[in-house]
Amino acid sequence: MENLTLRFTGAILLTYFIAIVLSISHLPTALQAWRPEWVALVMIHWAIFFPKKTRYWHAMVVGLFLDSLLGSVLGQHALGLLIVQFSAIRLTERILPKTLLQHLFIVALTVSYYLLINLWVRSLTQDNPTDWSYWFTLLSSLIIWPILHALMKNLQVKRREL
């Protein structure tokens, strides 16, 4: 993006860890459908601001780890996160997002891809969601994005010009 650098070396790893913890944390049954896609949102943020530091194998490893923790089909989240990262990087190259509306467009599109891939894999295993509440996570991800983005911007600093 601009002339940005990470505040400390393990910032990307730390945010992935926090996102995974938030993804597996216990919520009341009524709020389960509203859980944002934390890992995908963190991946989108890093893909927008540091596309050269985010690697596709990061998405694969984090996705496989998430698959094992959630007990889902091995590779389900890995494939989804690979598509999220690829899409976010490609959209960022074409749009050059500067405003919140442009960020929300990228988030909406990439999280939709992620949810569609998960829905496809779930339909192959006869674990289809029964109602529209499956898509509430897209809405909650869009709502939480400005807050998450503001918090994660604290992990980056502008590089000094010499």
| Domains of the chain, CATH where assigned | 4-158 (1.10.1760)
Strand partners, 6: 156
State the pLDDT confidence band at 2, using cuts at 50, 70 and 90.
low
Answer yes or no: are the C-beta atoms of 41 and 141 closer than 8 Å.
yes
Compute the average pLDDT of residues 17-42: 94
- Its pTM surpasses 0.85: yes
Q: What is the DSSP letter of 17?
A: H
Flag whether pLDDT at 139 surpasses 90: yes
pLDDT at 160 (0 to 100):
66
Flag whether pLDDT at 3 surpasses 70: yes
Residue-wise DSSP of 75-132: THHHHHHHHHHHHHHHHHHHH---SHHHHHHHHHHHHHHHHHHHHHHHHHTT---SSG
Flag whether pLDDT at 82 surpasses 90: yes
Answer yes or no: are the C-beta atoms of 114 and 44 closer than 8 Å.
no
Flag whether pLDDT at 67 surpasses 70: yes
pLDDT at 161 (0 to 100):
62
